[in-house]
Amino acid sequence: MFKTLKEDIEVIFEQDPAARSYLEVILTYSGLHAIWAHRIAHALYKRKFYFIARLISQISRFFTGIEIHPGAKIGRRFFIDHGMGVVIGETCEIGDNVTVYQGVTLGGTGKEKGKRHPTIKDNCLISAGAKVLGSITIGENSKIGAGSVVLKDVPPNSTVVGIPGRVVVRNGVKVKKDLNHTDLPDPVADRLKELEAEIEKLRNEIRALKEGKVQDEQHSAL
């Protein structure tokens, strides 16, 4: 247990250049506090002390702004940077050497039973504001871009961006060259363009009908 706690501190020094001393990290890093509280709550949860485990998680949420359900399984060297607004669901499984940033949600998509939260494999990075939803798997060494919404499985060694999330890099090779962070998919805008095209088509048809009617009336008058 003490080895795990020490690794939780060491990974902060590796990942965060702002970390200056052990005392500073132990006393001021809310992500570390949330992880340590979760490790206690999870141990109680496994022994079926559900109420006490949930109480600890809610107290931790109050002080850190990070909500981790005591049922979630978290591996070694898990790092939450900044952390405010992070939510991790009950059946979520997180591997080793995973990093998440503020505003990340590892949640479900509804009221389904059983495994309803994501599985995050080893060495993944989930950027600020990303939402990973449902019983899906994020493969090893993958990166989720800031603000992305991921609803499907992600292969190992991939980079995902956009809403909905799309794989843009796999094994170091670009999957789609014309997709970048300044040109993300926008389904709402795409649908509006389709509606505009439909309206223009209807206008042309109405115009053609009116012109045909006028011509018929002119022929009838002659």
DSSP 168-195: EEETTEES-TT--TTS---HHHHHHHHH
Same domain, 80 and 102: yes
Same domain, 130 and 151: yes
* Contacts with 71 (C-beta within 8 Å, 6 or more apart), sequence order: 42, 45, 90, 91
Same domain, 131 and 63: yes
pLDDT in tens, the chain (222 residues): 778 888 888 888 888 888 888 898 889 889 899 999 999 999 999 999 999 999 999 999 999 999 999 999 999 899 998 888 999 998 999 999 999 999 999 988 877 778 889 999 999 999 898 999 988 999 999 889 888 898 888 888 888 888 877 777 676 655 554 444 445 556 677 788 889 999 999 998 888 888 876 666 666 665
**Domain boundaries, position 206:** 185-221
Same domain, 86 and 22: yes
Same domain, 158 and 127: yes
Peptide bond between residue 164 and the one before it cis (omega within 30 degrees of 0):
yes
118, 133 contact by CB (below 8 A) = yes
Residue 180 in domain:
no
Same domain, 159 and 61: yes
Same domain, 168 and 205: no
Of 25, 104, 102, 28, nearest in space to 72 by CA: 104
Which residue type, as a one-letter code, is found at position 146?
Answer: A
Same domain, 18 and 76: yes
Strands 99-100 and 119-120: what pairing?
Answer: unpaired
pTM of the model: 0.71
Residues in the chain: 222
